[in-house]
Structure formats: C-alpha cells, structure tokens
Structure 1
Amino acid sequence: MSNAYNRPDQLSSELRERVLLAAKRRGYPGPDPVARSLRTRKAGAVGLLLTEDLSYSFRDPAAMSFLAGLAESCEVAGQGLLLIPAGPGTGSGGADPAAVVHQAAVDGFVVYSVADDDPYLAAVRERHLPIVVCDQPRGISDAALIVIDDSAATGKVTEYLLGLGHRRFGVLAMRLGRERADGPAAAERLRSPHFHVQRERIAGVQDTLAAAGVSPATVIERYDHTVAAGASAAAQALSIDPEITALVCTSDVLALGALDHARQAGIDVPGRLSVTGFDGVEAATRAGLTTVGQPQEEKGRRAGALLMSSARSGVAGIETLDTELVVGTTTGTAPAADPNRRGR
C-alpha cells in the first residue's frame, strides 16, 4: 500500500487503482502528512509574515497583488502557503509571538513589510530557516531581499510636481511605528520610524524639495491605512497649511481618500490641488490618479522564487525592481498665488 501512495512508479496503473480503491472503501485517507514531514524534515509550506491583521491582507489591493504573486510561486514549486499575521491587533489576547512562529510548520519565511522592531520578526530569525524580506526591514544579514527604490520613486514624483510650478507640499504617510499615532509627524519621529519604506518615501520628497530650495512638506501620519484615513489626513494637512497645492501620498489608498476629501470640500483637482499616490493599484487607475506604479505581483513571485533558491543554496541575495511614474488626471500646473485663497 505504501508504494501506491509514495512510489506510484513501482506499480502498474491498474494495480495502483485497485489498491487506492480498496483503501478508500476501508476509510484510509492516505499517509499522515505530519508523519511524512517528520521523516523528510520538510513541511512543504512557506510562511508569510504580515505586518497587518489577517483581514487587512484581503482588503488592501497592494497586499492582495503581492499575495497572488507569492501564491503563484508556491504553486509552481508545489508548496503550501501559511499566513502569519503580525498586525497591530495580533497578540492582544496574550498570544506569544515566539510560540506562534515556532509552531508554524514551514520550510522558510517571506517577511512582507514588517517593522524592524516587530517581535514576530525576531522569532522568525530564531528559527534559522531561509528568509526573504520584501520591502522592509532592510539590513538583515541572514535574509534575502526584494525591494524598490522608494526614495528615488517619490523624488521623481516631487520633481515632476516642481516642474508644474508647485512650491507648497503636503505628504500623507502611513504609520511610522507600531504604536498608534495620528497627526503631524515631528522631525524627531521622521528620523527614527521603524517602517523603513515610509521613512524612505518621505525622505524622497523632503530631500528633493531641499535640493530645489523649497520649504519642507507638511507630513501627516495616519495609523490606519484606509480611504477614510486618507480623507481625514488631507483635511488636516490643508487646515495646517491652506496654501498647499500638492499632496504626495505614500499609498494609493491614502491618495484616494484625499480625492474624496477634495470632492466633499469642493476643492478642484487638479486646478487647485494636485494629488499623487503610490502603488499603481487598479482603483487608482480607474480614478485617473497620478501615481508610482510598482510590480506588486511580481514582488510576490520573485520573493517565492528567491526563497526556494535560498533554501537550496543557502545564499541570500538582493533584487531591486523598477518603478514607473504614471501621470494621470489628478495633477496639473500649480494655481497662481492668491493672497485671499484659503484652502480652495
């Protein structure tokens, strides 16, 4: 019977069919996969460490694209995929991060955009299994890395807006740390956030403005990554500095929220206010958003492929994928200065 399940080439197809039929009649489901993994020392699955709650991963369009790419890579390699959420709500019931990670039956981990101080990340490294980090954190010596140049991407967006005459900027950013914070991001917080991607995207804007002799952008942080959060962040930025003519958002989701606020407040986009995003998700394309397109699905595929190769060779590597400035209808020439204009 063992040959019928584990070495089918040792039996004729007719004999194997008879054996499997007899096993089915007796209610035998086949070899125990747990016992098989103990024997082979292979779990046959990839662990995906997420920085968000599990439900978020199926709502956020960029995360969904990454998941699709990674799942495709796992399918090609005959691997399963185990999701391990490390979001802000995870562990509130007393779950021990080390226990959660150490009990995961996987052959390696893909770490997707996790803070550098996340306790789940520390537990992953304690497993001494192959690791591929996507986006963040950087600088993990025992991990391969899939990245884009976030700073260069937002720098290119900012140069484009400067070329259109904009001189008053706001930045709407995703959270900079694991603790809840909503509002203007002080200089000290901008220097030491634990989310590398946000730090780099903000720096790309500020460095480009400084090089052009333009005042720094007003940076508004939002803990929740939702369209509603983007709308409230846009309202706050324009309240703090009504002369802002360009909002650079570190995600399309926040940018779509900024567009919602502009519609509700009667602000002309792009006549009065230009808005840009980051990611290039389908909803952004439909909205005509000027954004940075990045290959999220390809990131997932490459992360899976790199993990499989690392598992075989034990050699970590780094891959930097390209981004593209996609000009839509939400950006235009800066409005002429008007001393009487207040937010419109």
Structure 2
Amino acid sequence: MTGPPHPRRPATLASLAAELGVSRTTVSNAYNRPDQLSAPLRERVLEAARRLGYPGPDPVARSLRTRRAGAVGLLLTEALSYAFRDPGATGFLEGLALACEKAGTGLLLVPVSPEHSDVDAVYKAGVDGFVVYSVSEDDPHFRAVLQRPVPTVVCDQPAAVEGVDRVGVDDRAGTLALGRHLVELGHRRIGVLCMRLGSRRHDGPADLARQEGGSYSVQRERLAGLREAFTEAGVDWSSVPVIERFEHTAEAGADGAAALLEAHPRITALVCTSDILALGALGEARERGLRVPEDLSVAGFDGVPEADRVGLTTVRQPFREKGREAGRLLLERGDRNISEQVTLPTELVTGTTTRALRQSGEFFSGW
C-alpha cells in the first residue's frame, strides 16, 4: 500500500533562479525593480513563478531591508466603523486613498478610542508616516505619533504643532459668515448645539470657559465665529445657550436639540456645529411639531451629501480635497524640513431650513 504523495516544497527565490538559470538578483528585480529587466525576461520569470508556486519576495523581509513599510497610517480616534459611516470622514478617506493610489503606497487605518489612553496600536503600526485625523490637543495617541521618527500630517486639529504639516479650513470664518447670515435674517434668539469640546465625555451645557478652553480647536473656532457674528449684532453671547454632545451622531443631535428646546423654547434659530447634529435636530423639530423654517431655522456645518438632499443651510467644506492634500503633503514631502499649512476654502450654502423673520413680534426683544 502506497502512502500519500510527498507535498511539494514551495519554491523559493533561490530555487526559482536555479530553475531559470538566472541570478537571484534577476528574480528579485522582476518584482522590486521591473525597469531593470526586459519585458520578455520579466514575463518569463513571473510565468515560472506562477507555475512553481513562488509567491514573491517576503514583504516583511523586504521592509526590514529597505526600512520602509510601504504604507501610510491614518490615526482615527474613533471606532473603526466611524471611517465608513461618517460622511465627512468617508470623503476625507476617499481623498487620502486616491493620493496613496497615485503614489503606489498602502493605507493602514489605526483606529483608537478617544476615551482610552492605550497607545500600543500607534507604536506597533508598520507605516512610513502618519496622517492624524482631527484629534484633541491632549490626545495621548497623537503624542505617541510624534515620538515616532516618521513624518506626520494633521487634518484639522490640533493646529500649529511645530514641525508638523496641517491641512484644514478656516472654521472661524465659516461660522462667522453663517452667523452674519442669520443676523441679516433677523435672528437674535439662537441656541447652539456643538460637537465634543474635550476628550472626556460631557453631555450638557457648555459655558464660556468650556467653549474657550476646550481641547478641540475646530470646535473652539466654530463657536468663536458665531460669537463674533452675534456680538456684532449686539447679542450678549453669555446669554446664548450652548449644548455639547460627545457623540457625533444624528441621535446625539436629536437628543441635544430636545434638551435645548426644552430649556429655551423661545429660540428662533438653532445652529449646529456639524451637519450630522443638524440632521438630528431637524428630526427632533419634526417630532415636536415644529415647522422648519417657519417656526425654527436650523443650520449646520460641513456640507455632507444628506445636508444637500434636505436643503440644509450650512457651511460646505471640501472633505475629499482635504484628504488629497494630506496625502500630498506626506507622500511628496521629500527632504523638505519646513512645515506647510494648507487652508482650503469654505462656502456658505443658503438652503431652505432658514428664513427671515418677517413679523414684528418675531424680532429680538429680549429673552
């Protein structure tokens, strides 16, 4: 009785070179430096590799030799699913992926929780550089990134980090334009629903000290733009209710809008510092039987596709272009040792969710 046939040993670079009667360098060049071989010779090497079951050079061994991982790390201080369900993050990810495709490099997502300080994922990531997507100034994962001897690009926040490239928009100018638009429509009694201001969970009112001292600079700037616009119109900003929500979801927007409308039923406009929160607020307004914009004007920030679909008044920003620029800054850095700051334009989009106050009783006459 004969036993099972002996399994064939997988081909190696050396055995493939011996089979073809060429040097091991020739086989390696077929994969790593194809410009060094003629097209017929490279095809002969690759065909023999397929026939003999040679999988190609070991990428781990190659990275050890070249000291390059062939991938960009995207640090995202959210659950992994956030990158695929949040439309702003999705647009940014698409732009970054396009830049990586153009450069022929990979993209590694490094998701970490904003509520946990474990930085092992950052230290273990095999990448040639990091793109950091919108984290707080005191984020421990960002500090871990800066300890790695690789180039880093920040998208949005934190801002003004020495030696680090950044791409973002002028958030303050965007909300300043939005606030002035609402002022021109006659609104003085407003409420504000904002994204998280700090890395520790807080769901509730945000006083002026918290607004100005938050560790998320984008939210600080967006609130500052609104404060400037309404202060110009004679509104005491300390009297403007600001509600903060830690989660960036439509459900959080609805919950925050409910809290704000319960405490301040006389507001004529609700400004949200993101479209996702604003979409939730629109749903809450409908649940309460409020007509938008007849009973309540609602505005957001970002310009995500769903906001366009429902006609939300918002400030549109170019997410995909931010991703492209972040990739360009990282992948085309070369020997540049001076950091670059790229500020992309925003656009005020006047939709159907805001309107002018036409009846005399609607105009501001105090809280």
Do the structures match in fold with TM over 0.5?
yes
Checking the alignment, whether the CA contact within 8 Å between 1:226 and 1:254 is kept in structure 2 is: yes
Say whether residues 1:68 and 2:89 are aligned partners.
Answer: no
Match of 1:160 in 2: 181
In the superposition, the TM-score normalised over structure 2's length comes to: 0.87
Cα distance in 1 for residues equivalent to 2:212 and 2:92: 28
Distance, in Å, in 2 between the alignment partners of 1:6 and 1:202 is 51
Paired with 1:151 and 1:12, the residues of 2 have a C-alpha distance of 57
Look up the match of 2:109: 83
* 2:355 equivalent among 311, 332, 335: 332
CA contact (8 A) 1:248 1:275 kept: yes
- CA deviation string 1:24-50 (max 9, x = no partner): 232210011111122222211111111
Q: CA-to-partner distance for each residue in 1:290-313, whole Å, 9 max, x for gaps?
A: 000000100000010011222442
Is the contact between residue 310 and residue 316 of structure 1 (CA under 8 Å) also seen in structure 2?
A: no
Alignment of 1:88-103 (within 5 A): 88=114, 96-97=118-119, 99-103=120-124
Q: TM-score, normalising length from structure 1?
A: 0.93
Q: Which has the larger radius of gyration?
A: 2
Q: Kindly state the Cα deviation for residue 68 of structure 1 after the two structures are TM-superposed.
A: 0.3
Compute the displacement of 1:89 (Å): 5.7
* Cα separation, 2, equivalents of 1:269 and 1:193: 31
> 3-state SS of the aligned residue for 2:332?
helix
List alignment gaps of at least 5 residues for structure 1.
340-344
- 1:313 aligned to 326, 333, 336, which one? 336
CA shift, 1:62, in A, is 0.6
Contact 2:115 2:199 in 1 (8 A): no
Deviation per residue, 1:9-35 (Å, 9 max, x gap): 444433332322222232210011111
Question: Alignment partner of 1:167: what SS?
Answer: coil
Query: What is the rounded CA distance, in whole Å, between the counterparts of 1:167 and 1:48 in structure 2?
Result: 41
The answer to whether residue 162 in structure 2 is matched with residue 141 in structure 1 is yes
Task: Using the TM superposition, give the Cα deviation of residue 288 of structure 1 relative to its aligned residue in structure 2, in angstroms.
Answer: 0.5
Instruction: Tell me which amino acid in the other structure corresponds to 2:160.
Output: G
Q: CA deviation at 1:110?
A: 0.7
Residue 186 of structure 1, CA deviation:
2.1
The range that moved more, 236-245 or 115-124, is 236-245
* Aligned match of 2:233: 212
SS at match of 1:310: coil
Which residue of structure 1 aligns with residue 246 of structure 2?
223
Identity %: 58
Instruction: Provide the rounded CA distance (Å) in 1 between the counterparts of 2:115 and 2:358.
Output: 43
> Which secondary structure state, in structure 2, belongs to the residue aligned with residue 220 of structure 1?
strand
1:277 is aligned with what amino acid? Answer: G
2:135 and 2:170 mapped to 1: Cα distance? Answer: 17
Q: Secondary structure at the match of 1:325?
A: strand
One of 144, 147, 151 as aligned partner of 2:172: 151
Map of 2:307 onto structure 1: 284
